[in-house]
Structure formats: C-alpha cells, structure tokens
Chains A and B, each alone.
Chain A
Amino acid sequence: MFEATELPLPPAPASKRRRRRRGSDESFPESLRVEPLVQGDASLGKLDDHVRNLSEAKPPRSWYVALAITSLVGLIGVTAVGYMVYEGIGTMGNNVPVVWGFLIINFVFWVGIGHAGTLISVILYLFRQRWRNAISRTAEAVTVFAFVCAMMFPAVHVGRPWLPHWLFAYPNERRLWVNFRSPLIWDVCAVVTYFSVSVLFWYLGLIPDFASLRSRVKSKVKRAVFGFMSLGWVGNARQWLHYEKAYLLLAGLTTTLALSVHSIVSMDFASSMVPGWHMTIFPPYFVVGAAFSGFAGVVLVFAFVRTAMKLENYITMRHMDLLNRTVLFLSCVMTYAYLMEGFTAWFSSDSFNRYIFANYVFGDQWWAGSLTIFFNCVLPQLLWFPKFRRSVPVMVLVSAGVTLGMWLERYTIIVLSLHRDYLPSSWGTYLPTPIDFAILLGSVGIFLTLLLLFLRKMPIIATWEVKADIVHYQTHPSGPMEAEHA
C-alpha cells in the first residue's frame, strides 16, 4: 500500500547488520520510507508483559463502572425481550405490512458489525497486510460478540423462542424437513457456520498466547485455565509449520464464508417480490455495507481502547490511519452502490420501483433515507484529509456516524420498502415502541459487556504475530517492503 509522506518519521533505529537486504538498505530514498507499525522501545518481552498485565492486573475503577452500566443496559434488553415474548408481538411496532421491524434491522446490523473481525484478520492476512496483526485479535472478538447479539434476534423473531431447534434440519417425529429452497434456511446455515468458524478461528489464534500466559500469570486458577486452553503448546518449529498451514487454510476458507454470509442474508430480501428488495445488486451491496459498518465499529473500539489500555506503541496512529482509509474507500463503494440502486430503479421504468426510491429520501419518513446518505456517503469524505484520519475526535465522529448510518440504512431498506409495496390498498405505516428501543439498546449493552470482559480477561493482542513484527522492524528499520515476511 502506498504511503503518504507528509508526516515526520521517527528516527530509524541503526541497523546492526550490514547485510544488503531490500528495506533495510540505508541508501533507500527517504521519501519512500514508512512509519513502522511498532513504535517506542518495543521488545518481545515488553509486549508479553504488557499483554499479561492487562489480563492480570486489577482493572481500574472506571472499568467496573462501565461494566455495571453496560450489564444493566443489557439486562433491561433481556427483560424487554422476556416481556415481549410473554405478552405478545403486539408490544413491538411490527404490523402488517411491516412484518419485519426492529428485530430484523438489528439482526442485519449486528451481522454487519460482525464482518469486521473476519475481514481484518482473514482477508488482510491473505493480502499480507502487516497492520492487521496488532488489531486482529480484538477485531475477532468484536465479530464473535456481534454475532452473539445478531443470533439473538432471529431466535426471538420466530415468535416461539422456546422452539429454536425448529430452524434446523433434524430427524423428528413429524417426518418434516426444512425447505432447502428458502433463503431463510440458507441464512440459518450461513450464520451458524460463520459464528462457529469465527469462534474456532479466534481460539486457534489464542492458543500460542495462552501458552505464553500459562506460566507467567500469578493466579493459580488462571494458570490452570490458560494451561488447559493452550493444550500444552510449546512452539515446536514443526507445530508452527502445521499451525501456519492451518491458519492459511482457515483464512482462505473463511474469506469465502465472509463474502457469502451477507450475500445470503441479502437473499432473504432480494429473492422476495417487494419493490426496493428485488434486485440483483443486493448481495455485493450487502457485503460492502457489512464491511463498512464492521470497519467503522473497529475504529470506534480502537479509538477508545488504544489510549485506555496504553497500546499506542502497538496500535499506532498509522494503524488508525489505515483503518480510516479503508472506511473512506468503502464509503465510496457504498455511494456507488446507492447510485446504482437508484439507477436500476429508474432504468427499470417500473413506477413502483421509482416511487419507492423517491420515497426513501422524500417520503413520509424522509429522514431515514436522507440521514443514511449523509452518514454513509457525505460524512466519511472528511477522511480524505490526512489530519482528520489521525484525529481521534474526528474518527470517533465519523465512525459513530457510519455505525448509525448503517443502522438507518437497514431501517430504510426494511421499513420503507415494506410499508409501500405493489398493492396500495395494503400500504401502512410503522412506529417503533419503547420495547423495540429497549431491545436494541439491550443488545448494545450485551455487546459492550462481553467486550469489556474480553479486554480485561484475555490476551487482547495476538502477541505471536506482533512479535514477528517487532523483530521485522528491528532488522528492517523502515522501507516499503512490509508485506514481505521476516
């Protein structure tokens, strides 16, 4: 990736070895040097100690306060779900024709956020982007926790959450099977596969880190737990050989999965005959949207985590810069997708299709479509400026805007399409109730609770990957050949 050179570069550490290697060559033009991804006087041991301290030291008071608030909010959400299930679906804003309300909006929203981890840790791994190493672990955690939230919603939405096994194909006394021609069963398979593979991938990356924590944590319980979780890993070169192969295979397979999951989610919409849904652009458009909201979510998390947990040396401003560039790029692709959607509607010459798109922006709920465009297309344009890409307030503003904008996009697609279908006699309107909002907030609370617990109880940086980076930057102080392996 090309790098801007507008920033003052930190002095490159003197290379001890005089061997001529690309990247470490001191005659390399100054203008092409890049900022190292590891800063300060980093060493393998220091990184180890830092990550161990984070998972072992007593958390600060603010952590407990935050945890109390988020778990309370999560509890309110769970209570709202319980009340809704007891009392009936009428407590929510769902109606005919808007049969998919907040629950499905939230489902698609969280599935989208959940694309962050895989894209960062898997696709960037295949592209040999070194800057993924320091952020991949937390991004994967974001994925897993977002999917915990996401999977809650369809389970509640089916109406009888005590019969969730009916979603799956299993032998039963009624000799019924699921309908494999329905996108809804594809969706179940895709989401369940994605969640299990995300957890697997996350755990696989954690094994060497558990091994490194195993013998150094002081608490006996933690030592036993980490020791068990590390499966007796000792870092034999032969083990690493198979390990890296497995990591590569998982990365390749999971890339296909990540691209397919939101495509399949979009088919829930695209294969129905609702104006505004029945479009071939939906699968790629949903995948980009998912990546977009996922990256924004990760920026939001790291904007707070990197300073709160003193990770500035490992998650540098350059990491944030690169993440923000990705957000900007995806914003441009989203803008293109919106334009193409509008064009398709206009080009179809179908008055309903044309009407529905005009209705998104100028209709009775014009704010949903207009704010979607503002947050997803206009606001991220700030990131063209290098200064803003490295400014924490601006990146928080933009990524919070994108997160909100992507939620509103799903609101627009689901509510505004359903309430004006092909039969004007069945047009209706939709108003969410306090229960709807309580469930949405509750899912945010559950997500943040899990994230806070992760940040203080688990190794939040893939140390075995960043260790290779530290050695890389010590031997090749600066140069454009980052993608090359040490």
Chain B
Amino acid sequence: MLEPLFGVLALFPSADALLKAIPQVKERGFTRLEAYTPYPVHGIDEALDLPKSKLGILVFILASLGAICAFLFEWWTSTVSYPLLTAGKAYNGWQAWVPVMLEGTILVGTFTAALGMLFVFNRLPFFGNPMLRSKAVDEITRDKFALVIRPGDGGLDTSAAIAALRAAGGQAIEVVPAPHYRRAGLAWWAKVTAGIGAACLVAGYGTAWAIRTFPTTKPMVEMENQPRLDAQAPDTFFASGRGMQLPPVGTVPRAFMPVLATNPDQGGKALVDPLPVTARVLERGRQQFDIHCAVCHDKLGTGKPWLDSTYEAQPTDLQSSTIRDASDGYLYWVISKGFASMPAYAADISPNDRWAIIRYVRALERSQDAPARDVK
C-alpha cells in the first residue's frame, strides 16, 4: 500500500551534478521528474523535455489589443465624443495618437508578460505548495539543486526511487508528502464575509461622518481665492464705478457690421442679402427662426404668439401681404433695429444669421401660398 505522496526528493551540490543525474534517473524508468534550482540553469529544459514557454504568444495578442484599444479610444474621444479643433488639424489625424498607442501597447504587453507568467503559466501565488513544507526548500532557494521524482499513473515505488536518486549521487533524500487540502468550511466563509462586511461598514460610516463634519472644507483655498475683479462687479478704482470698462465710442465687435440706415425704407434700398442659395443657409435660418422668432411670430410666421393672453402686443403676421411685398433689406433693418414693440436683435443674432432667417421667412411664405406647379 503506497501512501499518498508528492514525490521523492534528492539534493545535488551543483547544477552540473543535477544535469548528470537526470538521464541516469530517467534510465531507471522514472519519467515524471521535476527540478528545483536557485537560479535558472540553462540546458535543464532540454534534459527534462520541458516545452517552450508560450508566454510570447499571449503577450503578442494582448499587446496588439492594447494598441487597437488605445487607437479606438483616441479616435472615439477625438472625433466622436468630444471633437476638439486644434491648430486647424483634422479631427481624425491619427499621427498624433501614435505616442499614446505606443505607451498603451507597452503597458498592456509588460503587465501581460509579468502577470501572465505569474498567474497563468506558473499558477502563483501558491502557498499550499507541498515543496514549501519540505526540508529541502531552504536549500533550494540558497545553493542546492533538487530533483524530485513524482508518482506516475501507477503510483511510485518509493524505495526504487530512493535507490535511483542515491545511485545518481543525490544527497539528503526525503519523501515529500502530498498536500493535505482542506475545503474551506462554513465557519471560514462566515468569518471572511463578516470581515468584509465590517470593513465596508467602517469605511461607509467613516466617509459619511467625514462628509457631515467637513461639509465644505476645501484645502488650500488661498491660491483659488485670488483678488480679482469680476466682469459685473462694482469697483471704486475707476471713475465709472464699474468693474468692466465700456469700450471706446465707435467700437464694432468682430463680424457685427452696424446698420447705418436710419429707417426701414432706407435700409430696404441699401441692404442686400449676401448669402448663397443653399440648403444649409435655409436649415440655419430655420434653426435661428425657431430660437429667436417663433416664440412671438409662431413657427409658421402667422403672428399667433405662443405666449398667453396677458402678453398684449400683437406680433406681425409674417404671411401678410405687407411683409410679402417688403424687400429683404427692409426685414433686415427691422430685425437689427426693432420695430414698434419688437426689440432690436442686432446684439443677439449675427448678421449672416439674420439674412438666413429672412431667407427662411420667404420659404415659410411660399409654403403657405404655394402655386400649383410647386406640387407634383
């Protein structure tokens, strides 16, 4: 009756002695051999017929995935999620993404190599390794070389193994018993669960206490609270008493040419629509009309406001003949300067958008009074 055992172990004083012993032990019919050495001994993998490590394949696959993921992430953030125009470069200019792709590849590759070696190929951590309980383990990690005969399918003849190892020059021969694994019992799981639960409770109540005790405490505020003047704040330094100074008389904001005509009829003669006839202009006009105009003039320009009856002004019906017959320049002047109870929009709508709105108003007029030839 053979007792359950991990193997029979013998120590050798040098790597050469170990390498010589391996074929001798093999000759006696023992095939499941394991060697333990204090440093990597070259040639031992051939002696033991160890297959080559496949770690390289794993690293190649995952490192390539790292590169692809980095590329896709950069592409998605730079062109889809948050397109940011920098120096007039195309959103999808991939050349600038290469450095981060390289770092991503290396980060994933190196961690795959290290963790894959430890966890996947070497099955570490393994604190239950029966070798750790052997007397020889301290010698192996120091200066001795061990050969272990593991039991094959039919078990192991311990005395024959001991004889073979002794014949090959092995010393300090020892029979390493098999590990006694115990399944984790209910009590163990209860302890672990209780421990994790207690840690969660402490962390949760601790955080809640900290948030309540220091609700608005901000560290190092001195650098944030710097003396400065906000745009709308009053100020005693300037004679005007304002924080933000008024621009000099006659200042014109960029892209906002002032309308010089003094009445709508004069404007109607002087102002000409500069925009090309494209679908984009109409689409822009629709958008701006719906934002600024539709609230009073209605989406179709009928002049029926969305506002309730307490709003007493009567917006102009844009479908009326007065407006149909008015020139584009006339409407432009009205939008820019305001008319009757309609306020001026020059500060809110850019000149091109005003023209686009007028183009859209014309389209609305046509839509409500379409000649038969428009309909097929």
A residues in contact (CB < 8 Å) with B: 43-45, 48, 82, 85-89, 159-160, 162, 169, 175-183, 185-186, 189-190, 193, 196-197, 200-201, 204, 207-208, 211-212, 214-216, 227-228, 231-246, 249-250, 253-254, 256-257, 260, 264, 267, 464-465, 467-468, 471, 475, 485-486
Contact = CB atoms under 8 A, between A and B. Distances in A.
B106 A193 contact: yes
B50 A235 contact: no
Nearest to B141: A212
Interface in B174-204: none
7 smallest beta-carbon distances between A and B, as pairs: A44-B143, A246-B117, A177-B77, A231-B125, A245-B53, A186-B99, A212-B141
B314 to A, nearest CB: 43
B266 to A, nearest CB: 46
Contacts of A159: 223
B102 to A, nearest CB: 6
Contacts of B14: 471
A180 B37 contact: no
9 contacts: A48-B143, A89-B223, A186-B100, A200-B114, A231-B127, A232-B129, A237-B48, A240-B41, A242-B121
B35 A236 contact: yes
Interface string B99-124: 11011101101110110111001101
Given A87-B222, A231-B127, 13 more contacts: A45-B143, A177-B82, A180-B96, A181-B96, A208-B38, A228-B125, A234-B129, A237-B45, A241-B50, A245-B53, A246-B114, A253-B59, A464-B39
Contact of B39 (A160, A264, A468): A468
Contacts of B131: 234, 236
Interface stretch (B132-140, B160-168, B320-328, B346-354): B132-140
Contacts of B132: 232, 234
Contacts of A204: 114
B34 interface: yes
B77 A169 contact: yes
B141 A254 contact: no
B118 A211 contact: no
B106 A86 contact: no
A241 B141 contact: no
B44 interface: yes
A189 B103 contact: yes
A201 B114 CA distance: 8
A467 B38 contact: yes
Contacts of A236: 34-36, 131
Contacts of B106: 193, 197, 253-254, 256-257, 260
B199 to A, nearest CB: 19
B109 to A, nearest CB: 5
For chain B, the bracket of interface size reads 35 or more
A82 B331 CA distance: 62
B259 interface: no
Nearest to B22: A237
A232 B126 contact: yes
B82 to A, nearest CB: 4
Given A249-B56, A256-B106, A237 B99 contact: no
A185 B74 CA distance: 12
Contacts of A253: 59, 63, 106, 109-110, 113
A208 B110 contact: no
A264 B99 contact: yes
B124 A232 contact: yes
Contacts of B104: 189
Contact of A254 (B48, B89, B110, B129): B110
Contact of B126 (A182, A185, A216, A231): A231
B320 to A, nearest CB: 45
Nearest to A197: B110
A96 B236 CA distance: 28
Nearest to B125: A231
Contacts of B81: 175, 177
Nearest to A174: B82
Nearest to B130: A234
Q: Which of A182, A197, A215, A234 has the most CB of B within 10 A?
A: A234
B119 to A, nearest CB: 9
B56 A245 contact: yes
Contacts of B44: 237, 240
